[in-house]
Structure 1
Amino acid sequence: PLLWVCRSPLRPHHGRKNWFVGIVDLPLPHQVPDLAAADVRCESFRAGGPGGQHQNKTESAVRAIHLPTGLTAIARDGRSQHRNRALALTRLAALLDGRARLAEAGETRLVHAAHDRVQRGAAGLRFEGPAFRAVE
């Protein structure tokens, strides 16, 4: 915690002059992960199911696997393997984005839960006056 020694300019008749302030490093804002080509393995397979001769003969469905995390996205909606590959990569990016958002929400919750742990005394830095002049 930081110690700020100053009479409050907003409450001049208040008796308190020592204020303890807790400082916390906040996590960086959410960033959309980039899919590097080396981190993704794409596999093609037959889409299966009813759909006629084309669907049962060609390997147009695509499974995109993110190697560092093991997340998998499958696309078998389109008729073209190229279209399904692009769709699978889009779905994989959305999965990674959702996972990053969950992790960020957990970190934010932990930071908010720790706000009541500020302790008085043993201040790491001390400031005086309304201009926050550092005292060493």
Structure 2
Amino acid sequence: MILPAWLSPRVLGAAAVLAGLALSHGWAYRAGGRAVQDKWDAAVVEADRLANERRAEDQRLAARAAAAHQEAAAAIQAELAKTQEALDAALNEPVPSCPRSAGDAVVPAAVWLRLQAIDDAGPASTARAKPAR
């Protein structure tokens, strides 16, 4: 009996080898895809973990900055209250009277000497006095 060409042992053997290779390559392709996906998922999880750590550290820093700001604001408010009390006390004190004579005022030495010279010269020389430079 004569067999058709596609039923020959060589053709069937080649078909079996091709089917085996197709199955093994399909399995390897899927396994490689799973390995790559697993690595990708691990990298995403690690990136998320790092982002969460950074976010938590930023929140801690922001909380510390807010607390420091609140403390500074409270200190400023306390100092403002003290300053307001001091200002109110100063405004309630009577203003000291103006000095009545040159001896009652604090003046620079040059002005004091000029005033003394005018006093020593008397009222007649006041008109002749030259201004100090």
Q: Same fold (TM over 0.5)?
A: no
Structure (1 or 2) with the greater helix fraction? 2
Structure (1 or 2) with the greater strand fraction? 1
Normalising by structure 2, we get a TM-score of 0.31
Larger radius of gyration: 2
